[in-house]
Structure 1
């Protein structure tokens, strides 16, 4: 079972995404802030990261860049979840090292498809 670390500070969206991912057979750990992501990695590196861009204390872009700098998470797939859909926002997200960028609101089915594809591409699916 693939392990996913979800960082989403909106409790309702966090619950929904966690529920849908668990329904699809994933093991999900969820956190609400950027620093929480980095602390959670200390307990073990997940197979994939889902990061809200507008996390408190440390943005999803900053977390993504930190994950890319760390040896243990350098090659881990990262998907950014955000309502920021301008081309400059998407470019900034991909420049931070994200593998994918999913605009809110998104279909849970599309999220599951993207997660499965990234896990397959990275040998974890």
Structure 2
């Protein structure tokens, strides 16, 4: 199991909108960077299935409430990215998984290790 931390940002279509107090999002791991709106190449998905993650708002960031484990398919990748989407499959956030060592067959993150941040709008 490979431990990781992910700090993701909201996708472009959500820039400037407030973050919710609580939300459930679904994480997938991908081997190539999602585009600005969080859309990923289906061939780049390296997780077996989406994993539900509950988030709550804390200090203007959504933080994961519990431990998250993402099962991966067999393979080797130079970098793994995380895409978060809602129940309808619409992308919400994206970011890179900062890992210790090579990715094993599972990625594992302790509570509060996955965060979603919204940039502060400048006036």
Which one has a larger percent helix, Structure 1 or Structure 2?
1
TM-score by length of 2: 0.26
* Structure with higher RCO (Cα < 8 A, 6+ apart): 2
Which one has a larger percent strand, Structure 1 or Structure 2?
2
**If you compute each CA radius of gyration, which structure gives the higher value, 1 or 2?**
2
